Structure 1
């Protein structure tokens, strides 16, 4: 199901089903009070949780009505888990399971088809980076090593050796805390052996070609970051060796990636179909965290929806900081979408205007002094501190010819030029008069403010000055003190704020109604910019790469924002 209207309808129906469930009937507190806490919190705010999370809860109660649920098995595992010492910021630490983790482990370990046969054989935890999925799932391998079959074989596998070792190293370190003198376990780089009497169980780290593996008899398989896999061969070899096991368990833990065609994408699609009730399979458990179809990428509620451990294993301001960084270039935005929003996307950045296209819009006779009668203008600033240039764009609309003219000034601190990687290019621009070098090692915003005020007195009637509210406090204070407080206008740097001015600029530029001052930094900036689109089809110019500069592009579009939103 990919139709957005169908997904919206299904979420509404699922919310209604969730509200109709009589929680008192199931006595969830007898299992663990945190299970009740989690389900009640979701039911109290269903819009704060995605469709598939709601479906997994509704499915939990259907399974409770259908199968045997062993409370003792869940309680036993919880006590075991909370006795282990996991890695943490302050060293090895015991952690209490969070309510959402109790729900996950209750689903995986609690349901039984018969007195001996556990129901769930395949589990998927599809959660963003920093959820602590890899370390917490290590507990299942240790549980199998200690309490599983006498000859249990647990395998930790991943797309590459280093990734597999993250989980396996956690297993080894936990066991060292349990058995510091190595009386009960033999621990090697890639294998752990249980030496207790009557046991031949072991856990092993794998990241090899599937055709080199034989003689396996897996009881437990953990596949880490499966979304990166190009082939299902390793997974198939491991899971096909489980035929003799009464209670085999395969757990896939992963975050999204840019691989849109992969075995995991197919697996995820089928698990979603199971949750939607389109495929009948009670042997799986899937907990899927991703945005709903109408969720904005810059909305803190979306971040909380996809990252249930925000404020627990993830710092409360982490997503806000990463999103601000991601808005600057296409590569960082793709990482934000795949690893933090848990969306399967590829780099969607497309060339917007080439350098030569913008150069062709240059006016050789540009001179703001020559404009008659102090015409109205919109101004926007993009300010740096010391690492690169600052830009100020002045955009004048000439109604008689229905044309926008954009004049952008660029500034750089002269003291920072000597060590800058682009010093030769910047010196060339400065010598030609295209880049103004300001004294000192950092940008002096007072000098930029003086230029703006001078132009307002002598050349233009400035209607509004747009700025990024996140990084312009000093500049705003300076401009406010000079009498410009009423025209200062904060402009959010989000995709939603940029969509309308991007479209306005495109139409004007492509119909020949935009000109620029004759400055090579203008087309340098446009040549570094790509247009990126978020999941709601909002659009914004971003850097082609981390070190590219697009300051003049951003300020140009910000002036079009001011025109679009100006009220006389």
Structure 2
């Protein structure tokens, strides 16, 4: 066994970690944390053992069996890149006292083009046939057919490439070490007859029935629409008594890529030591926050996110991308994310995303308790059938700062199917409490009415502003719950009992003045609050997702609204946030023209911005 705290001869994994910590080559903070963790574990960890000979065996396997199949080095032995050595060595060299792999999961994130997929494909073949496991299933999974096959095709190509040191034309396939099912690019399974093991890609989100996997390789995590597959495989792995692992690879995800962002943030926390999980390995290669402003001109930091730069990834390649970023600002954000690990949101985020992110904060029970006694406005966007229903509470504190929290509902029926269609992890949100799934085929508005009643009883609610669509159904639900509400119909109409409901027009194609609630005014007030950082928005992943999906539509008079037809997904939570801010920042008019709220005394606009009358909207 290697000496604790020191790299023994023949231990390139630990040698790489020591060099990274010394600063012999450039690494980002997150990679340095991973290296420091390895060295600290050598010194302090007692529940797991470092076996450098096992790490070395896996490292040596690659150039002994594989040749590079693509690029300028094609045909040469596949020597792992230096950062590969650390990853493969760590995964294969750390074991339990029973000699089982220590790491049950691993996450590798780098910039684009850093040869993650060939490394993962080669590791899959190693585990399938050369680790001594009988009947070892290895799976490649992805968010769709193409991503599931990325690393599997690399593995298949290596099986048909020249074996180093063998006679010309000798491959793993021709020598009978493996059997490939399928011809050309249509290989769909790799088998290892001696061990009766196999390597199989599973496309389109499919799970193998009753799997007992030895290794699951999940590539392109940033492209996953739902974490359901990953959760299922992780549970399958925990059932395996021996060595088993879920290894994930990714480029830096956009903030609107919710699954990738969640996994990346989790493994960053593990690398930093903020989250303790001795069975999880994290390698996250990004430029540091201090590099972000100058990343396009500071070549010295590029190796932090591109650990293969200058080895298999030519510097000229990234210089070409940088020139594109400098000359085409519209592509700069994407290039910064894909190559330098700077997370950005959806294309054309409806407002400057850094300003949006600056006002996100998780509201604690203590925060909500402190808002009791502050005026509160509720805003409601009801779904038509089984989409999202959103309810936002907006408080204004004594300093004039707005605070917002949003509740969401959907139906439980066909939740997984709709999650795939909407590119949203609905089941995970339900499990984590961000989303409530009601029984039945349509949303039961009595759940929503109950939440409104609870807020009305707890806080100083001024009124509830609403999108007219489906509002009559909500009023019926309130009646069923025994909760009194009344619809405001203008300053000359009598007030009712209970909570006041005020209509809020949605589209820009309406006539309005400063007395009316309408989306152009509400968006303007909401934007001002965000840009001035005088609003705090509860950091819900659903609200962030809605914001990343939004598109703005503008008419000839510069009136703007959110365009649901052109948006990239659901935006209901963003709509209610804007409505709430618009209501809370309503400037009171003097005299009998103002009765505590703006009244839309014109035809309302439906979800698509088309003018309809109230009865049609409610229908």
TM-score, structure 2 as length reference: 0.50
2:279 paired with 1:283 = yes
2:125 paired with 1:142 = yes
Distance 2:32 2:320 in 1: 28
Note the C-alpha offset of 1:164. 2.2
Distance 1:316 1:134 in 2: 20
Distance 2:17 2:34 in 1: 12
2:208 paired with 1:206 = no
Report the 3-state secondary structure (helix = DSSP H, G, I; strand = E; otherwise coil) of the residue aligned with 2:290: coil
2:235 paired with 1:240 = yes
Note the C-alpha offset of 1:294. 1.2
Cα displacement string for residues 303-323 of structure 1 (whole angstroms, at most 9, x for unaligned residues): 122111110111122222211
Check 1:104–1:264 CA distance in 2 against 1; reply closer, same or farther (3 A cut).
same
Aligned to 2:309: 310
Aligned to 1:264: 260
Q: 2:98 aligns with which of 115, 126, 145?
A: 115
2:337 paired with 1:328 = no
Note the C-alpha offset of 1:245. 4.1
Aligned to 2:68: 86
Check 1:331–1:31 CA distance in 2 against 1; reply closer, same or farther (3 A cut).
farther
Are 1:152 and 1:219, in contact at CA under 8 Å, matched by a contact in 2? yes
Aligned to 2:192: 194
Check 1:350–1:254 CA distance in 2 against 1; reply closer, same or farther (3 A cut).
closer
2:111 paired with 1:128 = yes
Distance 1:126 1:350 in 2: 24
Aligned to 2:52: 71
Report the 3-state secondary structure (helix = DSSP H, G, I; strand = E; otherwise coil) of the residue aligned with 1:222: strand
Q: How does 1:30-69 map to 2 (within 5 A)?
A: 30-33=9-12, 35-37=14-16, 39-44=18-23, 48-65=26-43, 66=45, 67-69=48-50
Cα displacement string for residues 525-555 of structure 1 (whole angstroms, at most 9, x for unaligned residues): xxxxxxxxxxxxxxxxxxxxxxxxxxxxxxx
Are 2:141 and 2:205, in contact at CA under 8 Å, matched by a contact in 1? no
Write 1 or 2 for the structure with the bigger share of helix.
1
Are 1:334 and 1:345, in contact at CA under 8 Å, matched by a contact in 2? yes
Note the C-alpha offset of 1:253. 0.7
Aligned to 2:606: none
Report the 3-state secondary structure (helix = DSSP H, G, I; strand = E; otherwise coil) of the residue aligned with 2:263: helix
Q: How does 1:357-372 map to 2 (within 5 A)?
A: none
Runs of 4+ in 1 over 4 A off after TM superposition: 347-352
Cα displacement string for residues 65-111 of structure 1 (whole angstroms, at most 9, x for unaligned residues): 21311121011112211211231325333132232222112211111
Aligned to 2:142: 158
Note the C-alpha offset of 1:335. 2.5
Report the 3-state secondary structure (helix = DSSP H, G, I; strand = E; otherwise coil) of the residue aligned with 1:240: helix
2:247 paired with 1:251 = yes
Are 1:176 and 1:182, in contact at CA under 8 Å, matched by a contact in 2? no
Distance 1:183 1:40 in 2: 41
Aligned to 1:173: 157
RMSD across aligned positions (CA) = 2.5
Distance 1:209 1:41 in 2: 37
Are 2:5 and 2:40, in contact at CA under 8 Å, matched by a contact in 1? no
Note the C-alpha offset of 1:222. 0.6
Aligned to 1:185: 178
Are 1:256 and 1:339, in contact at CA under 8 Å, matched by a contact in 2? yes
Are 1:164 and 1:224, in contact at CA under 8 Å, matched by a contact in 2? yes
2:102 paired with 1:102 = no
Are 1:330 and 1:347, in contact at CA under 8 Å, matched by a contact in 2? no
Cα displacement string for residues 274-332 of structure 1 (whole angstroms, at most 9, x for unaligned residues): 22222211111111111211112211122122111110111122222211112233442
Q: How does 1:327-406 map to 2 (within 5 A)?
A: 327-346=326-345
Are 2:59 and 2:89, in contact at CA under 8 Å, matched by a contact in 1? no
Distance 1:214 1:24 in 2: 44
Are 2:221 and 2:260, in contact at CA under 8 Å, matched by a contact in 1? yes
Cα displacement string for residues 173-232 of structure 1 (whole angstroms, at most 9, x for unaligned residues): 222344242633221221111212xx221000112234x642222110111110111101
Check 1:262–1:38 CA distance in 2 against 1; reply closer, same or farther (3 A cut).
same
Number of corresponding residues: 326
The answer for unaligned runs of 5 or more in structure 2 is 162-170, 182-186, 352-619
Check 1:292–1:93 CA distance in 2 against 1; reply closer, same or farther (3 A cut).
same
Report the 3-state secondary structure (helix = DSSP H, G, I; strand = E; otherwise coil) of the residue aligned with 1:281: coil
Check 1:33–1:233 CA distance in 2 against 1; reply closer, same or farther (3 A cut).
closer
Check 1:326–1:271 CA distance in 2 against 1; reply closer, same or farther (3 A cut).
same
Cα displacement string for residues 32-82 of structure 1 (whole angstroms, at most 9, x for unaligned residues): 347425632541368x42211111111101221213111210111122112
Are 1:38 and 1:100, in contact at CA under 8 Å, matched by a contact in 2? no
Report the 3-state secondary structure (helix = DSSP H, G, I; strand = E; otherwise coil) of the residue aligned with 1:52: helix
TM-score, structure 1 as length reference: 0.54
Distance 2:240 2:249 in 1: 24
Cα displacement string for residues 510-536 of structure 1 (whole angstroms, at most 9, x for unaligned residues): xxxxxxxxxxxxxxxxxxxxxxxxxxx
